[in-house]
């Protein structure tokens, strides 16, 4: 008697795929269901990741659920519409093929006629994966170049808009939001008057000052507003670490400034001065506790900061929720954490010396 083929159907659409014929969730589900029925496969479940990129496997809950079902023997066959629906990473693809082999699970693609039940099929799927990854990286380079060129021409390329302006989609222009303009100028004024990013964020949250998308103010938001030259009517490229070497700022096309140059320069002079004291945020080789300890007040994650003052290194920890203004936990030093940890170790029975062993060692040494 032939073994039943119990199939898990995986479906993924990215935001860009939503408008394409044949790539919608409904279209993929319909085609794959008919394909499974035509092959007399039993459908165990549908796994659908909606609006998620196929760059890698992280952040895709339905992939994780499907792989758990493979490991637990609930399914022995995977069916997808096209290989890039599952992954565009050759590294992830090889990992998946090896995982499927280990758990005797076959892998099929409807449009590419892939079947990993034999060596030729497994080789073929790896070749397709290499080309899929090449296509993704090539597309990413073209998109990046397009953004760079548009920015050089003075165009604002972030269609999500930015605090202080509204982005008019049809016209592809930024217009000043008068209410938010006042808040932006107040941020600059408060910072020049001596308040920190965190104090301004806490103040705005207490006053229920609205954010762009209805969330809470965070110190990182205040920082990004203060450092953004858009408020001078300029556009910039290369904000991320990856593009830092290619960064530039140019005058924007028809972008009305909402902060005067003197105020912007004064604020950013203070930003530059304070940056001198904050070398980097996550110095993992020195602040090795931040990824294992939690906040005692709210249970939130902890971040670390490394500061140099008068030539001496200081490491401090702080609750991430405190940095956002949602927790009252203050900062604490690396030294205090170290002392507490050592005291805890000393309190453990396993750390206390065994007197019989000590006595035996003494005899041997005499």
pLDDT digits (tens, 9 = 90+) for 292-308: 677 877 877 777 777 76
Alpha-carbon distance 241 to 353, whole Å? 50
Is the pLDDT at 235 greater than 70, yes or no? yes
Q: Is 0.75 surpassed by the pTM of this model? A: no
Q: Is 191 exposed, middle or buried (0-12, 13-18, 19+ CB in 10 A)?
A: buried
What is the pLDDT at residue 56? Answer: 75
User: For 20-33, what is the mean pLDDT?
Assistant: 81
Write out the two tokens for 163. Answer: 């605090």
pLDDT, mean of residues 270-296 = 65
Which of 27-36, 285-294, 309-318 has the weakest average pLDDT?
285-294
Percentage of the residues of the chain whose pLDDT score is greater than 70: 72
Residue 295, CB-side half-sphere exposure with 13 Å CA sphere: 21
Percent of the chain residues past pLDDT 90, beyond the cut: 31
Reply yes or no on whether 14 is catalytic.
Answer: yes
Structural contact between residues 89 and 80, judged by C-beta atoms closer than 8 angstroms: no
* pLDDT band, very low/low/confident/very high, at 364 (cuts 50, 70, 90): low
pLDDT of residue 215: 84
Give me the CATH topology for the region 6-137.
Rossmann fold (3.40.50)
Name the least confident of 1-5, 9-13, 170-174: 1-5
Residue 115 has pLDDT above 50, yes or no: yes
DSSP 354: P
Say if residue 257's pLDDT is above 70.
yes
Nearest to 324, CA basis, from 240, 212, 162, 199: 199
What are the sequence ranges of the domains in the chain? 6-137, 156-276, 279-350
pLDDT band at 344 (very low <50, low <70, confident <90, very high): confident
pLDDT digit string, tens, across residues 130-187: 666 666 666 666 666 666 677 677 777 666 678 999 888 777 788 999 999 999 999 9
* Mean local confidence (pLDDT), 249-265: 87
Taking Cα atoms as reference points, which of 56, 73, 54, 62 lies closest to residue 29?
A: 62
Reduce the DSSP state of residue 102 to 3 states and report it. Answer: helix
Selected catalytic residue, list 14, 53, 117, 224: 14
- Confidence at residue 261, expressed as pLDDT on a 0 to 100 scale: 93
Q: Which of 7-11, 27-31, 100-104, 300-304 has the lowest mean pLDDT?
A: 300-304
The class level of CATH for 156-276 reads: alpha beta
- Say whether pLDDT at 310 is over 50: yes
What order do you get walking across the sheet with 278-280 strand by strand? 278-280, 302-309, 312-319, 332-333
Summary mean pLDDT of the chain:
79
CA dihedral 134, 135, 136, 139 (to 10 degrees): 120
144: tokens are 């990046």
Extract the tokens encoding 114: 């892939």
Report helix, strand or coil for 37: helix
Instruction: Evaluate if residue 7 carries a pLDDT over 80.
Output: yes
Confidence of residue 19 (pLDDT cuts 50, 70, 90): very low
Between 343 and 281, name the one with better pLDDT: 343
Task: Grade residue 101 by pLDDT with cuts at 50, 70 and 90.
Answer: confident
3-state DSSP helix/strand/coil percent for the chain, to nearest 5?
Answer: 45, 20, 35
pLDDT at 141: 66
Provide the pLDDT for residue 282.
46
Between 241 and 264, the more confident residue is: 264
The pLDDT, as a whole number, for residue 18 is 53
Q: Which of 102-111, 185-194, 208-217, 302-311 has the lowest mean pLDDT?
A: 302-311
Closest-CA residue to 218 (of 323, 113, 328): 323
Span of 92-106, 270-284, 324-338 with lowest mean pLDDT: 270-284
Q: How many CB atoms lie within 10 A of CB 99?
A: 14
Checking if the pLDDT of 104 tops 70, the result is yes
Q: Which residue has the higher pLDDT, 121 or 273?
A: 273
Integer CA distances (angstroms), 14 to 66, 144, 253, in order: 18, 18, 31
Give the position of tokens 């806490």: 202
pLDDT at 316: 80
Joined together, the tokens standing for residue 122 give: 């497994």
Q: 223 pLDDT exceeds 70?
A: yes
Q: Which residues contact 25 (CB under 8 A, 6 or more apart)?
A: 11, 13, 48, 50
């Amino acid at each position: 008697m032939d073994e039943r083929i119990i199939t898990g159907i995986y479906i993924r659409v990215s935001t860009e795929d939503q408008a394409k014929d044949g790539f919608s969730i409904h279209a993929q589900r319909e085609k794959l269901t008919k394909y499974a029925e035509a092959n007399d496969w039993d459908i165990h479940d549908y796994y659908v990741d909606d609006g998620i990129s196929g760059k890698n496997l992280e952040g895709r809950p339905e992939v994780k659920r499907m792989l758990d079902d493979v490991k637990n023997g609930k399914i022995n066959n995977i069916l997808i519409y096209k290989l890039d629906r599952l992954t565009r990473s050759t590294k992830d693809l090889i990992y998946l093929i090896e995982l499927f082999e280990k758990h005797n699970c076959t892998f099929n693609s409807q449009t590419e006629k892939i079947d990993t039940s034999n060596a030729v099929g497994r080789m073929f799927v790896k070749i397709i994966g290499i080309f899929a990854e090449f296509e993704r990286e090539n597309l990413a380079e073209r998109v990046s170049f397009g953004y760079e060129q548009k920015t050089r021409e003075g165009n604002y390329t972030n269609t999500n808009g930015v605090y202080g302006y509204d982005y008019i989609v049809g016209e592809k222009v930024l217009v000043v939001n008068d209410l938010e303009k006042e808040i932006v100028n107040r941020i600059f004024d408060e910072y020049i008057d001596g308040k920190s990013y965190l104090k301004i964020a806490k103040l705005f949250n207490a006053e229920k000052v609205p954010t762009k998308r209805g969330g809470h103010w965070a110190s990182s938001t205040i920082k990004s507003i203060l450092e953004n030259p858009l408020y001078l009517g300029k556009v910039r490229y290369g904000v991320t670490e990856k593009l830092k070497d290619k960064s530039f700022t140019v005058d924007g096309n028809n972008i009305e400034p909402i902060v005067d140059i003197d105020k912007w320069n004064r604020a950013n002079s203070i930003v530059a001065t304070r940056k001198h004291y904050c070398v980097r945020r996550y110095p993992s080789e020195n602040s090795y506790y931040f990824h294992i300890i939690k906040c005692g007040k709210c249970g939130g994650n902890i971040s670390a900061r490394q500061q140099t003052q008068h030539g001496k290194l200081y490491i401090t920890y702080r609750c991430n929720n405190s940095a956002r203004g949602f927790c009252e936990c203050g900062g604490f030093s690396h030294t205090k954490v170290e002392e507490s940890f050592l005291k805890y170790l000393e309190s453990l029975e396993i750390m206390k010396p065994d007197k019989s062993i000590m006595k035996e060692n003494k005899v041997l040494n005499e």
